[in-house]
Amino acid sequence: MVDILHRVGVENASPEKVYDTLTTVEGLSGWWTDDTRGVAEVGGVLQFRFPAGGFDMEVVDQRPSEHVKWKVVDGPQEWIGTTVDWRLRPEGENTILLFKHEGWKEPVEFMHHCSTKWATYLMSLKSLVETGEGAPAPRDVRIAYPD
């Protein structure tokens, strides 16, 4: 088992504000993909769609301002059954966001790609909260060609 790990600090933002970007369709649409639908509550399923495909995530845990966890129930074969875990904590006026995409079976090349791509989406989330503007798909940062 190998994991993708990331950490960003969101400046001048409460954990509550960051939590909203992970637990509302509007918030998720602002940094990950314009085409986000579904039910952002425990037991609900969120559908994230991109030009090249998409992911369905079952919401496994949501603890306000602290923790969000999703389980991938549909998407690329390598993603199915993996989990995406978000932990938030305040640090002064800021919020630390810890990210884990866990349960990959093998460190395949696609996992390398997803690791870099997640980093750019976390920077998009940070920008959304700090400036009001993220870079969700299809206006996402390109890390290759196609992405």
Binding site for a second copy (CB under 8 A): 2-9, 11, 94, 96, 98-100, 107, 109, 111-113, 115-116, 119-120, 122-123, 126, 141, 143-145
Q: Closest by alpha carbon to 40, among 17, 52, 16, 57?
A: 57
Closest CB to a second copy among residues 38, 90: 90
Tokens 């996992």 locate to 111
Residue 39: CB minimum distance to a second copy, A: 29
Residue 44: CB minimum distance to a second copy, A: 27
Task: Give buried/exposed letters for 56-66 (b at 16+ CB in 10 A, else e).
Answer: bbbbeebeebe
Residue 66: CB minimum distance to a second copy, A: 16
User: How close are the terminal C-alpha atoms of the chain, in Å?
Assistant: 25
Closest CB to a second copy among residues 53, 109: 109
Closest CB to a second copy among residues 14, 120: 120
Q: Phi/psi at 108 (nearest 5 deg)? A: -70, 165
